[in-house]
């Protein structure tokens, strides 16, 4: 992982830099410069970027003062954009942005000129949703977080530290059997026929008196 890269939430003052970065890598600028990883897919209008900054969570990765990564999640924690500069790919930038955002759902375009990123997400804890294809063109693949082992039936059954529950049902004969002495709770004791509880001092005095010659 490139330790020189820093990450932070984007602000309104970052708008110009974000527009320039996204436009360069997505709408042909980098490809024209023969930069590795450059694509010619679509243009994100400035107004849309401004909308993202107002209503969504925008995360940027910085190498010094230069943006090298950009990602957007919706209020429902769905990842709709993740873009890393071509010369910074393979350095863990995208992986770290994914970890920081931790989206529940990912909407991934599969027809980009830079390739299909589905495998990237599958290798990082995501799986295809039950209905994985979306979009008017059918070019959006939906992925969701894999459930943690302890949150599935199989995981619970295979967990060696799980708490074993009794299979006795309330009201069954077995459930009426004594399960050990009932702890006395002083004034809150529900038993009516019992000797008054003695304090620790009373018990000690009794023991001393019985042991004296």
pLDDT tens track, the chain, 213 positions: 678 999 999 999 999 999 999 999 887 778 777 787 787 777 899 999 999 999 999 999 999 999 999 999 999 999 999 999 999 999 999 999 999 999 999 999 888 887 889 999 999 999 999 988 888 888 899 999 998 776 554 554 454 444 434 444 555 444 444 434 343 434 444 444 444 445 444 544 444 344 444
Q: What end-to-end distance do the CA atoms of the chain give, in Å?
A: 81
> What is the pTM for the complete model shown?
0.68
Do residues 126 and 145 touch, judged by C-beta distance below 8 A? yes
CA angle 71, 39, 123 (to 5 degrees): 55
pLDDT at 193: 43
pLDDT at 142: 96
Torsion angles phi and psi, residue 96, rounded to 5? -70, -40
pLDDT at 94: 97
Neighbours of 18 (CB within 10 A): 22
Q: Using CA atoms, how far apart are residues 182 and 189, in angstroms rounded to an integer?
A: 9
Do residues 9 and 67 touch, judged by C-beta distance below 8 A? no
In order of start, what are the domains of the chain with their CATH numbers? 5-120 (3.40.630.30)
pLDDT at 185: 39
CA angle 199, 202, 208 (to 5 degrees): 145
């Amino acid at each position: 992982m490139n330790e020189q890269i820093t990450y932070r939430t984007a602000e309104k003052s970052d708008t110009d830099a974000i527009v320039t970065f996204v436009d360069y890598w997505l709408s042909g600028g980098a490809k024209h410069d023969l930069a590795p990883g450059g694509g010619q897919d679509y243009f994100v209008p400035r107004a849309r970027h401004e909308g993202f900054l107002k209503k969504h969570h925008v995360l940027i990765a910085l190498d010094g003062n230069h943006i090298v990564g950009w990602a957007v999640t919706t209020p429902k924690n769905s990842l709709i954009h993740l873009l890393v500069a071509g010369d910074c790919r393979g350095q863990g930038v995208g992986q770290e942005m994914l970890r920081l955002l931790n989206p529940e759902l990912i909407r991934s375009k599969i027809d980009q000129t830079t390739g299909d990123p589905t495998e990237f997400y599958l290798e990082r804890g995501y799986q295809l949703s039950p209905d994985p294809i979306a979009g008017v063109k059918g070019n959006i693949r939906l992925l969701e977080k894999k459930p943690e082992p302890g949150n599935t039936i199989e995981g619970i059954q295979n967990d060696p530290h799980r708490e074993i529950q009794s299979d006795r049902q309330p009201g069954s004969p077995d459930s009426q059997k004594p399960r050990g002495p009932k702890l006395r709770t002083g004034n809150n004791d529900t038993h009516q026929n019992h000797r008054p509880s003695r304090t620790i001092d009373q018990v000690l005095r009794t023991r001393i008196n019985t042991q004296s010659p």
